[in-house]
């Protein structure tokens, strides 16, 4: 192959003009920040919805002024109707899972740092990358539109003109079927209840758009990682963050199309009168439902959860990668068992495709398959436990520096254990007889997917903020933010386990109807107070984030004395990351506290003269001491 | 918090209840030990290995193969054992047919109420047809009056089951997916439109219990409630031999007679 | 903070310390090509294979829905395949041959061959889509609608979904026709051109194989 010594140093020149620089940019760093900003906006919407939900559960009949103004139909006199509550549940779940947990960890930090960490000047397909963000953004706009298509009479009436399945203006803030949208409830349209007209259609369309955006992103991640690693960056020298992003991209590539398929079938059932999910002989709201026959509601559940289970690993794996990375950095110690960690990431990813049935034990599917799913589900606990041991091993014998990023990474481990361990209960089909669709499940997935993932993102933010913006976030405010949030989330979600033990079902707009729930009231109030405090504390984060962009202390290239490639370039990085010079990598990613080395860290680009690579090119990660 | 009894399962009333509670206890002990060990380990490591002022470095180590193998194997054994043990109650309920001598009741769920269809004295269910359903004329499950078997059938909104005798439920739904859940039964099953799902259990303790819908079915999901009566054998036999109106009246009497548990 | 072990050997650490870049430092360390910055056709190939994996998952999901649905009700009725679909299949198979010929021409630097076979492929591709539309209209005339019975639903769904992806392929072919005919001046430009043609060819073959799979499913399953 012809050697082109200085050919193609810049694949694309630096952009000029505000629009090309900040709006329609093909620079992966700008796109990464755009994803993060999208997630910051989405999480705000999600948190507000959850507070409204908590208020409704704790003090039924409360007049909420703003609801009266914005949504007079769904909350007459400011008092939430049950369907309004259910639409909050649905939108909270959908927005959080898709637009927060599937954007920031992968599209946000992954986009920004994968190319840099492997020594590339951008993603493999920068224009495709830009498209993936804007497609995702359009998806977000559509889901926001669903709020008003159902919540606002005028907007709703525009949609109602499109046909029966688009009936809008019912007063809710979107569909009421939960983020899981099980048919027939989600397929029958407005006869099944308010919010099930335009709200569902827009929900499906938004998710379909999101699927496409996600796929475009996944293509980029995989190609970039396989093809664009710099010289010396073997696979086993890559930071664990890269392994996590890579596995997540593969999961996204293979699971989102299945959701897309299911979504298309659901939309056809609603709009075109097909019967993929709708059986015959239904009698809804006082009349038989004509023209449908033979569909299977279980089919949707299989398609949805085949996607849904890998999705939760998509949400958590980047956080695991970031945690490993950050723990090692601030413990000044290599990651314990790098190879095993890589293997565990892969095992979790791949096994994640075989356990979807544990969401469906009670669904009516074959009880024999439930046995298989149950055993496989508990097996997936093994690589997760391995990772936890390795994190503990990384801390053992360390010299820990307690930066805010480190606190959040430690918090991740704590929360991941807390949430993951109840998987041992829920994964057993026998025990699920009681716990399925109770608050015990809600506790489990919020701790492990909601909170642990968010902690991973917080850790990543505090860690990489200096690199992205050239300034440090305020550590003092950061630490206060950590403590309130850490204690707050435990205060919120541990009581959920107790509620689950009482038998409290999910998605109940009120708990007033059942005697067996009467002991829950104290718990419910306690959780609400904790939630309001914790959500309010996030103001500290938003303030710190945006204020520090302009007024934070200057950061320098490597404020944390870290080893990976991003810390060898300026903060913020130049347009093409490495200023035209390709880094050469000589070491693994976690060479901290190497005996005999002048400093307690060796950067990956530090020359071979520096001690401790006797294995010569095997990544330096097979040492035994 | 969990141990205070206030925030714990209501006592089980089924034959499989003790086995269920035992499996849960074993699991929660494993969970509890792991949780405490991990959190304490984490806290202690973070405390013990914090950077102090001195210039000493961390221990340079990439891992320990032997340790990794040991903890992987131990974890796998514990988890897989739990998984296998956790199939027993499942198998006893869902991998077996209802025992001979079970009493069969048809359950038909709808937005937002429960219908329980009894076969009456002749023990044979009258034919039902979805096309005959008409809520306004109170034919909730679509009973075909021309079928002689349906003469003695009753359809009521309370579930009555005999104590100490296996019960088979045939679960159906008229509109969307619902789920049958009574906490004391340690049992749950979805009711899926288009499917007839057969389940069985044996209740032991007479009394009155609440039945809650456990699958989101629309706006009044939170108040889709019914009562379940577990009746001593003679009371039960007497009840289910009655024709519709008398059945209804007697069941209302029994609802007054039995009280909900003390929560 | 920035001063590290590199104090002794500044030249090998151009990235540390935020100082001005000196390209010498890098090349002094061992020369060789700027591998990741230089374009590599493998990039296009990886992308297209990943994309194929993704699209395949979509059709696998729909296929499993097809199989499940065929067993779940008694109103499943297969229709006779419109004859024009056999023509569709033939057109697509021939177009696979032509695109392969075009790809090989390009490899052996035969520019006119590349152009010719490429345009033939486009024509055949368009003809395929037309024949599909024809088949649909024929079915509608016979009263076979999307919602009439589940088999019909899947028939329209599969052919429609496949058709949409073929249209995407036609756009890619169009791009090749408009932008990649004629030798490029730079080495990198040539690599890109050949890489793009390769990748589109792989995609097109996938469209063909997918069609055959769907066609057999619709014709022979149950």
Chains A & B: contacts with CB separation below 8 Å: 358
Subunit contact A254:C68, Cβ cutoff 8 A: no
Q: How far apart are CA A79 and CA A65, in angstroms?
A: 9
Selecting from B6, B9, B27 the residue whose C-beta is nearest the C-beta of A424 gives B27
What pLDDT, in 10s, does the model give residues A554-595?
Answer: 999 999 999 999 999 999 999 989 988 889 999 999 999 999
Q: Please answer whether residues C171 and A293 qualify as being in contact, where contact means their C-beta atoms are separated by less than 8 angstroms.
A: no
Domain boundaries along the sequence of chain C? 42-220
ipTM above 0.90, yes or no: yes
- What number is the average pLDDT over the span B99-121? 95
CA nearest A404: which of A458, A325, A350? A458
pLDDT tens, B80-102? 999 999 999 999 999 999 999 99
The per-residue pLDDT of chain C, averaged, comes to 83
The minimum CA-CA distance between A255 and chain C, rounded to whole Å, is: 8
Whether A587 contacts A563, CB under 8 Å = yes
pLDDT of residue B4: 52
> Per the structure block, which two tokens stand in for A235?
């696979």
**Euclidean distance between CA atoms A143 and A145, whole angstroms:** 5
Whole-number Å distance between alpha carbons of A154 and C175: 43
Q: What is the pLDDT of residues A388-421, one digit of tens each?
A: 999 999 999 999 999 999 999 999 999 999 999 9
Contacts of B22-27 with C-beta under 8 Å, sequence gap 24+, read: B23/A428, B23/A430, B23/A431, B23/B85, B23/B86, B23/B88, B23/B89, B24/A425, B24/A431, B24/A434, B26/B82, B26/B85, B27/A424, B27/A425, B27/A428, B27/A431, B27/B82, B27/B86
Residue in C8, C17, C43 nearest the CB of A124: C43
Q: Suggest the residue from C37, C51, C222 to mutate for an interface test with chain A (most A CBs closer than 10 A).
A: C37
pLDDT at A365: 94
**pLDDT for residue C183 is more than 90:** no
The mean pLDDT value for A361-390 works out to 95
What is the overall mean pLDDT for chain A? 92
Identify the chains in contact with B, defined as 3+ C-beta pairs within 8 A.
Answer: A
pLDDT one-digit tens code per residue, A228-267: 999 999 999 999 999 999 999 999 999 999 999 999 999 9
The alpha-carbon gap from C178 to the nearest alpha carbon of chain A, in Å, equals 19
Structure confidence at residue C222 as a pLDDT band (50, 70, 90): low
Render pLDDT for B10-38 as a digit per residue (tens, 0 to 9): 999 999 999 999 999 999 999 999 999 99
Residue B58, pLDDT score: 87
pLDDT at C213 over 70: yes
Residues facing B212 on adjacent strands: B181, B225
Q: C42-220 in CATH: which number? A: 1.20.120.80
Cα separation, A172 vs C101, in Å, equals 58
What is the residue-wise DSSP string for chain C? ----GGGG-GGG-TTGGG----HHHHHHTT----TTTS--THHHHHHHHHHHHHHHHHHHHHHHHHHHHHHS-S---PPPPPTHHHHHHHHHHHHHHHHHHHHHHHHTT-HHHHHHHHHHHHHHHHHHHHHHHHHHHHHHHTT--TTTSHHHHHHHHHHHHHHHHHHHHHHHHHHHHHHS-S--SSHHHHHHHHHHHHHHHHHHHHHHHHHHHHHHHHHH--
Q: Cα C59–A182–A145 angle (5° rounding)?
A: 90
- pLDDT, tens only, A96-118: 999 999 999 999 999 999 999 99
| Chain B interface, best mutation among A185, A275, A391, A418, by max B CB count within 10 A | A185
Nearest to A428 among B82, B93, B195 (CB): B82
Substitution target from B15, B53, B54, B58 for chain A, most A beta carbons within 10 A = B58
Decide: helix, strand or coil at residue A22.
Answer: helix
Residue C14 has pLDDT above 50, yes or no: no
Euclidean distance between CA atoms A23 and A467, whole angstroms: 21
Is residue C1 over pLDDT 50? no
Among A505, A506, A526, A599, which would you mutate to test the B interface (most chain B Cβ atoms within 10 Å of its Cβ)? A505
Q: Is the pLDDT of residue A17 over 90?
A: no
- Cis peptide upstream of residue A572 (ω within 30 degrees of 0): yes
DSSP state of A175: -
What's residue C181's pLDDT?
Answer: 84
Instruction: Residue window 52-81, chain A: list those with CB within 8 Å of chain B.
Output: 81
Determine what percent of chain A is predicted with pLDDT higher than 90: 83
Indicate whether C85 pLDDT > 60: yes
Q: Which residues of chain C lie closer than 8 angstroms to A306, CB-CB?
A: 61
pLDDT of residue B5: 59
| A18 interfacial to chain B (CB closer than 8 Å) | no
Side-by-side strand order, sheet with B187-191: B159-162, B225-231, B207-213, B178-182, B187-191
pLDDT above 60 for A615: no
The pLDDT value recorded for residue A611 is 53
Cβ separation A295–C150 shorter than 8 A: yes
Which of C24, C36, C59, C63 should one mutate to test binding to chain A, selecting the residue with the greatest count of A CBs within 10 A? C36
What predicted TM-score, i.e. pTM, was given to this entire model?
0.92
Provide the number of CB pairs (under 8 Å) joining chain A to chain C.
216
Task: Check residue C78 and give its pLDDT.
Answer: 83
- Picking from C68, C64, C70, C90, the residue whose alpha carbon sits closest to that of residue C211 is C90
Distance in Å, alpha carbon of C140 to nearest chain A alpha carbon: 14
Nearest-CA distance C68 → chain A (Å): 7
What is the mean pLDDT of the segment spanning A52-76?
Answer: 92
The pLDDT-based confidence of B199 (bands split at 50, 70, 90) is very high
Cβ within 8 Å, pair C187-A253:
no
pLDDT of amino acid C145: 87
User: Per the CB < 8 Å rule, is B197 touching A364?
Assistant: yes
Chain A environment of C6 (Cβ under 8 Å): 603, 606-607
Model confidence at A162: pLDDT above 60: yes
Residue in A387, A295, A304, A273 with CA at minimum distance from that of residue A340: A387
- For residues C47-57, give the mean pLDDT: 96
Query: Do C65 and A261 make contact, defined as CB atoms within 8 angstroms?
Result: yes
Angle, helix A297-331 to helix A338-351, in steps of 10 degrees:
170
Is C170 a residue whose pLDDT tops 70? yes
Q: In the block, which residue shows the tokens 């009436």? A: A157
Percentage of the residues of chain A whose pLDDT score is greater than 70: 95
Question: C-alpha B7: how far from its chain's center?
Answer: 18
Range A257-285 average pLDDT: 94
**Residue C7 with chain A: CB contacts under 8 Å:** 598
Q: Does residue A12 have a pLDDT over 80? A: no
**Total residues belonging to chain C:** 222
- State how far residue A230 is from chain C, nearest Cα, in angstroms: 6
Contacts of A466 in chain C (CB under 8 A): none
Of the candidate ranges A41-45, B81-85, B173-177, C143-147, the one whose mean pLDDT is the lowest? C143-147
Instruction: Provide DSSP, A285-332.
Output: TTEE--S--S--HHHHHHHHHHHHHHHHHHHHHHHHHHHHHHHHHHHT
Tell me: the pLDDT tens digits for B140-165?
Answer: 999 999 999 999 999 999 999 999 99
How close C62 comes to chain A (CA, Å)?
A: 6
Nearest to B58 among A398, A428, A511 (CB): A398
* Residue A11, pLDDT score: 61
């Amino acid at each position: 192959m012809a050697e082109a010594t200085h050919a193609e140093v810049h694949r694309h020149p630096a952009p000029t003009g505000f629009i090309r620089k900040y709006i329609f940019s093909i620079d992966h760093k700008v796109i990464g920040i755009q994803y993060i900003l999208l997630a910051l906006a989405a999480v705000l919407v999600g948190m507000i919805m959850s507070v409204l939900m908590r208020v409704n559960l704790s003090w039924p009949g409360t007049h909420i002024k703003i609801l009266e103004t914005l949504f007079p139909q769904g909350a007459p006199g400011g008092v939430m109707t049950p369907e309004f509550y259910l639409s909050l549940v649905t939108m909270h779940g959908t927005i959080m899972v898709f637009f927060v947990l599937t954007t920031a960890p992968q599209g946000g930090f992954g986009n920004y740092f994968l190319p840099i960490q492997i020594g590339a000047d951008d993603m493999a397909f920068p224009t495709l990358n830009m498209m993936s963000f804007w497609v995702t953004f359009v998806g977000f706009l559509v889901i926001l539109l669903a709020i008003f298509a159902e919540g606002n009479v005028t907007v709703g009436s525009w949609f109602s003109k499109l046909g029966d399945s688009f009936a809008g203006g019912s007063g809710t803030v979107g569909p009421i079927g939960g983020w899981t949208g099980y048919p027939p409830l989600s397929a029958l349209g407005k006869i099944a209840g308010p919010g099930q007209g335009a709200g569902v259609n827009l929900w499906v369309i938004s998710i379909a758009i999101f699927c496409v955006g996600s796929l475009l992103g996944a293509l980029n991640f995989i190609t970039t990682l396989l093809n664009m690693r710099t010289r010396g960056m073997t696979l086993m020298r890559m930071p664990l963050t890269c392994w996590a992003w890579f596995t997540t991209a593969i999961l996204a590539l293979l699971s989102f199309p299945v959701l897309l398929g299911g979504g298309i079938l659901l939309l056809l059932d609603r709009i075109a009168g097909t019967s993929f999910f709708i059986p015959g002989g239904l009698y809804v709201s006082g009349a038989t439902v004509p023209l449908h026959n033979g569909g299977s509601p279980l089919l949707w559940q299989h398609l949805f959860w085949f996607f849904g289970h890998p999705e939760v690993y998509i949400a958590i794996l980047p956080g695991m990668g970031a945690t490993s990375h950050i723990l090692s950095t601030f413990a000044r110690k290599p990651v314990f068992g790098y190879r095993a960690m890589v293997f565990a990431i892969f095992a979790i990813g791949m096994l994640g495709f075989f356990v979807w049935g544990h969401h469906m034990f009670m669904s009516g599917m074959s009880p024999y398959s439930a046995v298989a799913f149950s055993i496989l589900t508990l097996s997936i606990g093994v690589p997760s436990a391995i990772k936890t041991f390795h994190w503990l091993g990384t801390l053992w014998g360390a010299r820990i520096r307690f930066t805010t990023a480190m606190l959040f990474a430690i918090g991740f481990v704590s929360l991941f254990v807390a949430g993951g361990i109840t998987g041992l209960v829920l994964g057993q089909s026998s025990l699920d007889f009681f716990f399925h669709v109770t608050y015990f499940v809600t506790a489990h997935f919020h701790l492990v997917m909601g909170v642990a993932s968010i902690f991973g993102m917080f850790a990543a933010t505090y860690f990489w903020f200096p690199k992205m913006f050239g300034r440090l976030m305020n550590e003092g405010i950061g630490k206060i933010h950590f403590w309130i949030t850490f204690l707050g989330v435990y205060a919120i979600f541990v009581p959920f386990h107790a509620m689950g033990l009482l038998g409290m079902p999910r998605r109940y707009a009120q708990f007033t109807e059942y005697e067996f729930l009467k002991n829950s009231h104290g718990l419910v109030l306690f959780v609400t107070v904790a939630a309001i405090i914790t959500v309010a504390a996030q103001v500290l984060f938003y303030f710190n984030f945006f204020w520090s962009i302009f007024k934070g202390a200057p950061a320098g290239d490597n404020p944390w004395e870290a080893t990976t490639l991003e810390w060898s370039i300026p903060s913020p990085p130049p347009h093409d990351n490495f200023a035209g010079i390709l880094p050469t990598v000589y070491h693994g990613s976690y060479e901290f506290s190497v005996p005999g080395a002048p400093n307690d860290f060796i950067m990956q680009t530090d020359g071979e003269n520096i001690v401790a690579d006797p294995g010569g090119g095997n990544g330096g990660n097979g040492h035994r001491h | 918090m969990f141990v205070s009894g206030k925030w714990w399962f209501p006592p089980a009333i089924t034959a499989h209840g003790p086995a269920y509670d035992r499996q849960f206890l074993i699991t929660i002990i494993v969970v509890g030990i792991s949780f405490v060990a991990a959190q304490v380990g984490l806290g202690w490591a973070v405390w013990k290995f914090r950077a102090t002022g001195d210039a000493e470095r961390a221990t340079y180590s990439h891992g320990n193969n032997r340790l990794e193998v040991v903890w992987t194997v131990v974890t796998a054994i514990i988890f897989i054992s739990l998984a296998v043990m956790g199939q027993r109650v499942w198998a006893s309920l869902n991998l077996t047919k209802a025992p001979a001598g079970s009493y069969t009741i048809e359950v038909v769920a709808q937005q937002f109420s429960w219908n329980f269809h009894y076969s009456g004295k002749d023990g044979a269910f009258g034919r039902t047809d979805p096309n005959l359903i008409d809520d306004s004329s109170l034919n909730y499950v679509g009973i075909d009056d021309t079928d002689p078997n349906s003469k003695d059938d009753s359809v009521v909104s309370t579930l009555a089951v005999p104590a100490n005798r296996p019960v088979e439920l045939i679960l159906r739904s008229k509109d969307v997916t619902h789920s049958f859940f009574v906490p004391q039964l340690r049992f749950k099953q979805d009711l899926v439109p288009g499917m007839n799902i057969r389940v069985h259990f044996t209740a032991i303790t007479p009394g009155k219990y609440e039945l809650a819908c456990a699958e989101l079915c629309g706006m009044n999901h939170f108040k889709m409630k019914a009562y379940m009566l577990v009746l001593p054998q003679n009371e039960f036999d007497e009840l289910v031999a009655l024709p519709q109106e008398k059945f209804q009246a007697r069941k209302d009497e029994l609802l007054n007679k039995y009280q909900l548990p003390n929560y | 903070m920035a001063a590290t072990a590199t104090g002794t050997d500044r030249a090998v650490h151009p990235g540390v310390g935020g100082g001005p870049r000196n390209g010498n430092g890098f090349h002094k360390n061992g020369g060789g090509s700027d591998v990741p910055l230089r374009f590599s056709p493998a990039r296009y190939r990886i992308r297209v294979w990943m994309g194929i994996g993704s699209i395949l998952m979509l059709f696998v999901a729909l296929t499993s829905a097809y199989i499940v649905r065929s067993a779940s009700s008694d109103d499943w009725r297969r229709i006779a395949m419109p004859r024009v679909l056999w023509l569709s299949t033939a057109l697509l198979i021939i177009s696979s041959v032509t695109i392969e010929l075009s790809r090989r021409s390009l490899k052996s630097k035969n520019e006119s061959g590349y152009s010719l076979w490429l345009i033939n492929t486009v024509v055949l591709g368009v003809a395929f889509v037309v024949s599909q539309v024809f088949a649909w209209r024929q079915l509608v005339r016979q009263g076979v609608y999307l919602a009439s019975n589940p088999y019909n639903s899947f028939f329209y769904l599969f052919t429609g979904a496949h058709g949409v992806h073929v249209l995407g392929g036609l756009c890619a072919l169009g791009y090749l026709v408009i932008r990649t005919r004629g030798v490029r001046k730079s080495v990198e430009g040539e690599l890109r051109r050949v890489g793009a043609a390769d990748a589109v060819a792989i995609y097109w073959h996938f469209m063909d194989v997918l069609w055959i799979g769907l066609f057999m499913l619709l014709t022979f399953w149950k």
